[in-house]
Amino acid sequence: MTSDLLHDAMQANLTPLPRPRRLVSRLERVYTTVGSGLAMRHHLDRYDEITSGPPAHGIEDDDLRSIASFLLTAAEGRWRRLARSLPHLWRRGGREHRRLTGMLLANLPNDALGEDRWTVLSSLLQSDVGLAAVAEAAEEVRRAAEGPSDEWLDAMAAQSHLWHRYAAVIAMTGDPAKASEDLVRLVRLADGATPMFERLRERWMERHLDSRQG
């Protein structure tokens, strides 16, 4: 896929910046134009699962970052319109929409979001959306903001078994060498959802222990 094809698809479908509800369908036009489903099969089961929503279109991360950058540029001066699109993108589901949501969440100005980035992320997690989507969004937010506090993660984990699992996944996107014992306990006590989640937790715990022994 050439950069010209992606640029033309974005120009045709994303300018001017669509309203929040329309952005979802406009993005799917871009995905259909430039995507290749076979190209992304190795990404789809990152934690032995495929996120709910439309099938993956095969958009590579670099191209999703180009789309995010295009939208952020188009939204300059109208940041709130783009921020209001985040819940619509997330609820639509599918790998690309949720991956793009994380990228936009990480890069929108604070005043456009109205709340702390981690609080905005938690507001999106109203049902079981799959651990891969949560982890990828958390990784994006960590690139832009300091990780959530142990207290914030503890409060999240106290909500339910599912939210404890989410809190553990978010914690595991951080550096295990810097994790407090309280955070390690939170991760250790989470109810694992899949064998892949258990393997992820095992590796993270091993790295934490190695950092203490070193």
| pLDDT one-digit tens code per residue, 85-115 | 999 999 998 889 999 999 999 999 999 999 9
Closest to 89 measured CA to CA, from 21, 166, 30, 13: 21
| C-alpha–C-alpha distance, residues 179 and 41, integer Å | 32
More confident residue, 200 or 66: 66
- Predicted TM-score (pTM) of the model is 0.90
Which tokens hold the place of 10?
């974005």
In this prediction, residues 143-166 reach a mean pLDDT of 94
Q: Cβ distance 141 to 122 under 8 Å?
A: no
pLDDT for the residue 2: 59
Look up residue 23 and give its amino acid. L
Q: Cβ distance 171 to 183 under 8 Å?
A: yes
pLDDT at 68 over 90: yes
Phi-psi domain of 48 (left: phi exceeds 0; alpha: psi -120 through 50; beta: other): left
Helices (H), the chain: 3-14, 20-34, 61-74, 79-92, 95-107, 110-113, 117-124, 131-144, 150-157, 161-171, 181-189, 195-213
Question: If you average pLDDT over every residue of the chain, what do you get?
Answer: 88
pLDDT for the residue 131: 83
Q: Cβ distance 192 to 201 under 8 Å?
A: yes
Q: What is the DSSP letter of 39?
A: G
pLDDT for the residue 192: 75
In this prediction, residues 150-178 reach a mean pLDDT of 95
Q: Cβ distance 136 to 98 under 8 Å?
A: yes
In this prediction, residues 163-184 reach a mean pLDDT of 95
pLDDT for the residue 57: 77
Lowest-pLDDT range, 25-34, 54-63, 66-75?
A: 54-63
Look up residue 7 and give its amino acid. H
pLDDT for the residue 45: 47
Residue with tokens 């109205």: 114
Percent of the chain with pLDDT over 70: 89
Instruction: Answer whether the bond into residue 16 is a cis peptide, omega within 30°.
Output: yes
| C-alpha–C-alpha distance, residues 154 and 69, integer Å | 33
